Amino acid sequence: MTDYMEALKEPTNPNGNAPARNLTWSRPDAEGFKVNWDSAVNSREGKVGIGVLVRDHQGWVIGALRANRLLKGSPFDAEAYGVLLVAVFCRELGLKSIYLEGDAKQVMDLLKNHKLNWSLGGCLIRDARQLLNDYSLWSVSHVPREANSAAHYLVRDALLCSEDLYDIEVCPSCISTIVTKEML
Structural domains of the chain ordered from first start:
32-183 (3.30.420.10)
Q: Taking residues 39-48, report their average pLDDT.
A: 93
With cut-offs at 50, 70 and 90, classify the pLDDT of residue 31: confident
Phi-psi region of 94 (alpha: psi -120 to 50; beta: other; left: phi over 0): left
CA distances for 28 relative to 4, 33, 167, angstroms: 17, 6, 20
Q: Taking residues 161-175, report their average pLDDT.
A: 96
Which has more confidence, 174 or 72? Answer: 174
With cut-offs at 50, 70 and 90, classify the pLDDT of residue 20: low
Query: What is the pTM assigned to this prediction?
Result: 0.85
pLDDT (tens digit per residue) in 120-129: 999 999 999 9
